[in-house]
Structure 1
């Protein structure tokens, strides 16, 4: 496992990349990685460009954070993701424009394109709304993330979880593209054709052997 300093630098890099890719605005969004008996997570309310390795906060499995630092207000749902899925080690949350627009509609993204399988399912779910930073929202995330590694949060944004930060950021970007396509299709007012569950299962199998190849 990478040491804390390396992981902290990777978290900061991911935050800056998220902004560069147009997936986030201001101090919205947060990023974490699994670490020891808990996680390392971005601090609350700090602009990404001012973030330092020392500002990254350790939160243990019980939700206790190290003294003198305040973790992101949404640390609870990050912990919920790690508890729900042992196959992921990184979580990216943002308010990406397209994903958030679909989330405001309260809609999952259906299988409009074979890339829907990036989340490991035949759709990108949308979990119910709850106040940010609440245990209720964490509970919704816990249930939703079991279905797909990417989920929408109603009236809020996107969560993407993967085995490392590079893959989690890639997943977040791919889902925002899917959301953009879906919004364009909704705007036509036409019935939207979708791929069958059987076809998505074929794609899911193919992704196991030649999906995203970002090494640790």
Structure 2
């Protein structure tokens, strides 16, 4: 069901306006590499995922993997628990990334990405190993990062979690930009973030990650 879930994730990201046209890509880790959306594909078109190795080679079937296959491979390399990766040019994430700024501790929900901020990797040309390298450094130990003058990337253990994290990151970036437009946001202190981190350990039925709204779109079976 992995391929079905990846196709579902790609479609829903398009429906929510988080991937527009070919400005984004999705993949899932498989035993010998990844299943990744094709180069030039769009979520509102019928696309077939490409079975690619972590070196970008096509392992079976036809098609050309996304030009950002190296970015996905590098993130899988530093995020061993990741099974799904989403890369988008979502509006608020990209706007903040175009300022070359990380998402700071303006809100305790920033903790949901693994640290007190969401790092911003420096700008390098898209579709290159250099981009893959800087993104891997920015996301290591976390589940998301921004890409300067480009967009964002999120990794997760499930398709649902990848969608939830993508929605949450876009929401937080939009809220931070709104706060900056109104004045200088108050950032939480290290002690306040530590207190929130402790509180999250007992949040929900088993300390589960708070979920951003995903509307009424159903999770795929399997």
Above 0.5 in TM-score?
Answer: yes
Say which of 38, 45, 53 aligns to 1:50.
Answer: 45
Say which of 18, 29, 32 aligns to 1:23.
Answer: 18
Identify unmatched segments of 5+ residues in structure 2: 202-206, 212-218
**Is 1:96 aligned to residue 71 of structure 2?**
no
- List aligned pairs for 1:140-179, cutoff 5 A: 140-179=134-173
Q: 1:144-202 CA distances to partner (integer Å, 9 max, x unpaired)?
A: 111421111001111011111110111011011111111111112x3321112222233
**Is 1:201 aligned to residue 199 of structure 2?**
no
In structure 2, distance between residues paired with 1:207 and 1:30: 31
1:210 maps to: 208
Q: 1:210 to 1:203 in 2, by over 3 A?
A: farther
In structure 2, distance between residues paired with 1:18 and 1:206: 30
Q: 1:38-91 CA distances to partner (integer Å, 9 max, x unpaired)?
A: 111001112223334xx2111223332236320000000100011001121110
In structure 1, distance between residues paired with 2:197 and 2:130: 31
Q: Is the 8 A contact 1:112 1:195 kept in 2?
A: yes
Identify unmatched segments of 5+ residues in structure 1: 1-5
Q: 1:212 to 1:182 in 2, by over 3 A?
A: closer
**Is 1:10 aligned to residue 16 of structure 2?**
no
With the length of structure 2 as denominator, give the TM-score of the two structures.
0.87
Q: How many residues in Structure 1 have an aligned counterpart in Structure 2?
A: 208
Say which of 26, 33, 46 aligns to 1:38.
Answer: 33
Q: Is the 8 A contact 1:120 1:204 kept in 2?
A: no
Shift of 1:212: 4.0
